[in-house]
Structure 1
Amino acid sequence: MGDILSQNEIDELLKALNTGEIDVQQMQTTTQEKKIRSHDFRRPSKFAKDHIKTLQIINDTYARLITNFLSGYLRTLVQVEVANVEAVSYYEFNNSISNPVVLAVVDFTPLSGSIIFEISPAISFALVDRILGGKGTMIDKVRGFTEIELAIIERIIIQILNLMKEPWENVIAIRPRLEKIETNAQFAQIISPNEMVALVTFNARIGEVEGMINICIPHMVVEPIISKLSTRFWFSTVEKEIIGESKELIEVKIKNTVIPIKAVLGRTTISVNDFIELQPGDVLPLDSAVNGNLEVLVGDLLKFYAKPGVRKNKTAVKITDVVKREDE
Structure 2
Amino acid sequence: MAEVLSQTEVESLLAALDPDGSSGPAKPAFRQAHSDHHSQISLYDFKRPERVSKEQMRAIQGLHEGFSREFGAALSGMLRTIVECKLISVDQLTYSEFVFSLENPTCFNLLESTYLQGHMILDLNPSIIFPIIDRMLGGGRQAKTNFPNRALTEIELRLVSRITNQAIKALENTWINLCYLDLKVSQIESNPQLVQIVPPNEVIVLVSFELTMGEMRGIMNFCIPFNTIEPLSPKLSSDSWSAYKSRVITPEEQLDIETNISKTKVELVAELTQVKLSADDLMGLSVGDVIMTEREVSQGLTLMIEGKPFFSGTPGTLKGHKAVQIGKPISRARDILKEKQEPEFSRPTEAVKTHR
Fold match (TM-score > 0.5): yes
Q: Write the letter of the residue equivalent to 2:45.
A: D
1:41-190 alignment, distance < 5 Å: 41-135=46-140, 137-138=143-144, 140-144=146-150, 145-190=152-197
Q: How big is the shift at 1:52?
A: 1.1
1: distance between equivalents of 2:102 and 2:36? 48
Structure 1: state its 5+ residue gaps.
1-7, 256-328
Provide closer, same or farther for how the CA distance between residues 186 and 30 of structure 1 changes in structure 2, counting only shifts above 3 A. Answer: closer
Q: How big is the shift at 1:12?
A: 1.7
1:186-240 Cα offsets, whole Å, 9 max, x none, are: 11221111111111111101232111111011111100111111112115x969x
SS at match of 2:228: helix
Q: How big is the shift at 1:172?
A: 0.9
Structure 2: state its 5+ residue gaps.
1-11, 257-356
Q: 2:211 aligns with which of 204, 217, 231?
A: 204
Q: How big is the shift at 1:162?
A: 2.0
2:111–2:122 contact (8 Å) kept in structure 1? yes
1: distance between equivalents of 2:13 and 2:255? 80
Which residue is equivalent to 2:259? none
Q: How big is the shift at 1:138?
A: 3.5
Aligned residues: 242
2: distance between equivalents of 1:9 and 1:234? 64
1: distance between equivalents of 2:204 and 2:182? 20
2: distance between equivalents of 1:24 and 1:68? 64
Q: How big is the shift at 1:139?
A: 5.3
Which residue is equivalent to 1:195? 202
TM-score (norm 2): 0.61
Provide closer, same or farther for how the CA distance between residues 132 and 139 of structure 1 changes in structure 2, counting only shifts above 3 A. Answer: farther
Q: How big is the shift at 1:15?
A: 10
1:88–1:198 contact (8 Å) kept in structure 2? yes
Task: Give the percent of matched residue pairs that are identical in Structure 1 and Structure 2.
Answer: 30
Which residue is equivalent to 2:353? none
Q: Write the letter of the residue equivalent to 2:139.
A: G
2: distance between equivalents of 1:216 and 1:55? 12
Larger radius of gyration: 1
Q: How big is the shift at 1:87?
A: 1.1
2:113–2:119 contact (8 Å) kept in structure 1? yes
Kindly report the root-mean-square deviation, in angstroms, between the aligned alpha carbons of the 2 structures: 3.1
